[in-house]
């Protein structure tokens, strides 16, 4: 068993023992993943970080532990330990974009409070933003929060699927997110 697998399995005692025996907390497994990325439990995050795990390490596809975090507590701990919320994976996605899509407003709020950039977009041809990710899932709370943190609704929607040259506001209107529009106009 390697440390990445032990972290994934949630075996805290095994993780501690492997570290005590000299296992590298930043070791990459055969799939290109690393312990902090695969960890599921906050206690394992803590042990890995206390023993020097790099909160900005990226796997083979450029994903970070921040992108893969499952709870606001995990995101908070990673940010406290220096995780960069604006790192991108190989497609240009950031943690903010991924968590805006998944719909956990507490996670999105933590990222925004820690300087996640609302203006970043994925690599062409898609050019998707956190706002478009939230809009795709009809997550009005997150859309409104992103606007509060500076999303420019007059910016052109350059998403591959729509790419009509509409502004984000026009795209939201055409996407029938009426309650979002009403909230923006208040």
- The tens digit of pLDDT for each residue in 147-158 reads 999 988 776 655
pLDDT above 70 covers a percentage of the chain that reads 82
- The tens digit of pLDDT for each residue in 5-58 reads 999 999 999 999 999 999 999 999 999 999 999 999 999 999 999 999 999 999
Which residues are paired to 121 by β-bridges? 129
Average pLDDT over residues 57-81: 98
Residue that the structure tokens 């709370």 belong to: 141
Q: What is the pLDDT of residue 1?
A: 73
Alpha-carbon distance values, 96 to 52, 102, 111, 143 (Å): 25, 10, 6, 12
On whether the pTM is more than 0.85, the answer is: yes
Which residues are paired to 129 by β-bridges? 121
Tell me how far apart the terminal alpha carbons of the chain are, to the nearest angstrom.
56
pLDDT class for 177, splitting at 50, 70, 90? Answer: low
Q: What is the pLDDT of residue 186?
A: 57
- The tens digit of pLDDT for each residue in 105-141 reads 999 999 999 999 999 988 876 678 899 899 888 898 9
Q: Report which of 48, 32, 52 is spatially closest to residue 40, judged by C-alpha positions.
A: 48
168 or 74, higher pLDDT: 74
CB atoms inside a 10 Å sphere around CB 138: 14
147 vs 77: CA distance, rounded Å: 25
92-185 topology per CATH: 1.25.40
């Amino acid at each position: 068993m390697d440390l990445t697998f032990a972290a994934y399995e949630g075996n805290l005692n095994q993780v501690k023992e492997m570290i005590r025996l000299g296992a590298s907390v930043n070791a990459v497994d055969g799939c290109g993943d690393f312990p902090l990325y695969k960890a599921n439990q906050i206690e394992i995050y803590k042990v890995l970080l206390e023993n020097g795990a790099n909160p900005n390490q990226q796997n083979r596809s450029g994903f970070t532990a921040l992108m893969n975090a499952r709870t606001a507590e995990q995101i908070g701990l990673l940010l406290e330990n220096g995780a960069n919320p604006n790192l991108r994976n190989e497609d240009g996605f950031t943690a903010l974009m991924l968590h805006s899509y998944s719909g956990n407003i507490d996670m999105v709020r933590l990222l925004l409070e820690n300087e996640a950039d609302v203006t970043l977009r994925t690599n062409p041809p898609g050019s998707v933003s956190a706002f478009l990710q939230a809009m795709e899932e009809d997550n009005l709370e997150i859309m409104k929060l992103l606007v509060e943190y500076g999303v420019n609704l007059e910016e052109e929607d350059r998403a591959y699927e729509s790419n009509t040259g509409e502004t984000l506001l026009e795209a939201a209107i055409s996407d029938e997110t009426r309650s979002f529009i009403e909230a923006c106009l208040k």
